[in-house]
Amino acid sequence: MSESIKHKIEELSKKIEEHNYRYYVEAQPVISDYEFDKLLEELIRLEKEHPEYIKPDSPSQRVGGQITKEFKAVKHKYPMLSLGNTYSEEELSDFDERVKKVIGTDYEYVCELKYDGVAIGLTYKYGMLVQAVTRGDGEKGDDVTTNAKTIKSIPLKLRGHDYPEEFEIRGEIFMPRKVFDEINKEREEIAEPLLANPRNAAAGTLKMQDSAIVAKRNLDCFLYAMYAEHLPYKNHFDSIKAAKKWGFKTSEFMEKSSDIHEVFNYINKWDTARNNLKFDIDGVVIKVNSYEQQRNLGFTAKSPRWAIAYKFKAQRVSTLLESISYQVGRTGSITPVANLKPVLLAGTTVKRASLHNADIIEKLDVRIGDTVFVEKGGEIIPKIVGVDKTKRHEHSHKEHFITHCPECGVKLIRIEDEANHYCPNESGCPPQVKGKMEHFVGRRAMDIDSLGSETIAQLYDTGLIKNSADIYELKKDDLLKLERMAEKSVNNLLAGIEASKKIPFERVLYAVGIRHIGETTAKKLAYYFKNIDSIKNANLEQLLEVGDIGETTAKSITDYFAESKNSVLIEKLRQHGVQLELSQEQLVNASDKLKGLSFVVSGVFSKFSRDDLKKTIEQNGGKSVGSISGKTSYVIAGENMGPEKLKKAEKLGIPILTEDEFIKMIEN
């Protein structure tokens, strides 16, 4: 029986990694995301039941869960030098002349895209990933192996057998534009500061302590350079082609060029075509192909003489600022928007650009009628970066930020230490009310897919709904009187509303739209307090006992429930049968046994995954924290517990539990 289970785990692992390769490297998936998730769920279940068969290269390791408190500095075996940069074709021609002087005219270049991400070096021994190190200062970098393993385009085990016994392959970890946009959309919904650009987002994600969060960020990786004592190929191009066979994601846009003129053609093509990519690039890298010629050319103190990076100039245009309008978001945040004379920028026509907040307007001294310079921040969001004051009209007037809401007329407020102004009229300001309802019915919240933004606006404008609870009071006869509302669509809408009453409590908590409460925080609150009334009655100190709840979030919760209108909304939802407490099924393994206790989890466990262990702590009222302090109640220690954590726990006299002792604590 055990051999059968072991065989099934091995076969599932092979099948999942094959689908990973087809999806991330070949870009030719043969099964749906749903089917892939089901295979992974089955593997995780079998490994949980039979932990003795878990291997370091199992696909289940990509879901993360390990905590890295400190990233160890590692010396690079091969220094990770930076490339010389240029913005001009003349300097590229000079580079070409220097190459000719050393190696003659019998050579070729390889042209590649210059990815705008985070440089990484991956070391493999006998086909297994053993270490991932960031560039750092070029001599030493940070060991981010645990987080790199969550990136599905980085193979944990190589395909084939013709790779070197030990080698390093380097590349760039990046965040795809779609992922970046989705994260910022969610952050905007919960009034968190937006990520600046995909590159910074990738860098920040790679250094997160919780690898489970890294896994959810869906980072990607292109590999573009190999290093070893003895490489099996004589040139760079053939090495990278072979790397793809071994399971690495390499660029389909790499090309060989026989002379500098073909290099210029490649650059000119991608200066325009980059706008159609799903990831960011900021230039092109040109390398001499032959390894022997690379050795002959050698290095300067800082960079190789056989390679150079041509960086694209920031795409900037000037146009007329015709007016400034002010938008009101779901949370009441006021965003000034520059309305521009339409202008072509990076392949799209730009008519509007964000001015962000009052401080930016003041800093740029931007005025209506100015000629302004516009760039695309991170190649995505148009932004005004300056003013051509030589063209400013002598009678222009300084722009003053509005003092009252443009939608409802209520006086704006500005919270100390925050950049934005807010409209405090949450229940009477139309964009805020509509925005809250759109959030409430969203796919990750109450999931009423028949209620789009246009339908909500129509229902609000006709007076049928004024808040989220009113959605449950809609009547068929009233809906049929509206435009574009036929009987079938009305029936679908009402069925969707009825079905939403079964949405679990943690999603309802996210749906009501408490500022700073995202999906993860809502789930932690739900499992800690078990029902909405306990959250409502909790004071700041009690809220701060919940993992990852800080003072800003805790105050936001108490402020929300201090408003009588919000309590009325919750009561209406209760009357309509919406889930405002954990279900019986969710409560089966839940209790208050660990209330007031905090736990640090360290090591590898046989009966729990680290995530499941933390979830069990939270389900039973405890708090899972990442680092040991004098306030820590217990440390749960598995195999290979970090020696520094063990030393600190012993020094502070914190009790250390085995996995079985923790289980007995729960059972008793």
Catalytic residues: 114
Residue closest to 129 by CA, chosen among 153, 93, 106: 153
Tokens of 453: 């933004």
Length of the chain counted residue by residue: 668
Matching residue, tokens 């007016």: 323
Chain mean position to CA 202: 8
Tokens of 380: 């995505």
Residues 6+ apart with CB under 8 A from 145: 129, 130, 131, 132
**d(Cα 352, Cα 391) in Å, to the nearest integer?**
20
Helices marked H in 87-197: 89-103, 145-148, 177-189
**d(Cα 31, Cα 15) in Å, to the nearest integer?**
11
Q: DSSP string of 190-258? A: TTPPPP--HHHHHHHHHT-SBHHHHHHTT-EEEEEEEE-SS-SSSBHHHHHHHHHHTT----TT-EEES
Residues 6+ apart with CB under 8 A from 41: none
Q: How many CB atoms within 10 Å of residue 667?
A: 7
Sheet of 220-227, strand order: 128-134, 118-125, 166-174, 220-227
Residue closest to 541 by CA, chosen among 519, 560, 558, 563: 558
**d(Cα 23, Cα 40) in Å, to the nearest integer?**
15
Helix H, strand E, coil C: the string for 451-493 is: CCHHHHHHHHHCCCCCCHHHHHHCCHHHHHCCCCCCHHHHHHH
Give 539: exposed, middle or buried? Use CB within 10 Å, 0-12, 13-18, 19+: exposed
Residue 177 near residue 201 (C-beta atoms within 8 A): no
Residue closest to 446 by CA, chosen among 623, 250, 578, 314: 578
**d(Cα 369, Cα 395) in Å, to the nearest integer?**
10
**d(Cα 232, Cα 191) in Å, to the nearest integer?**
53
Tokens of 177: 């534009």
Tokens of 268: 């000119």
Tokens of 361: 């307007």
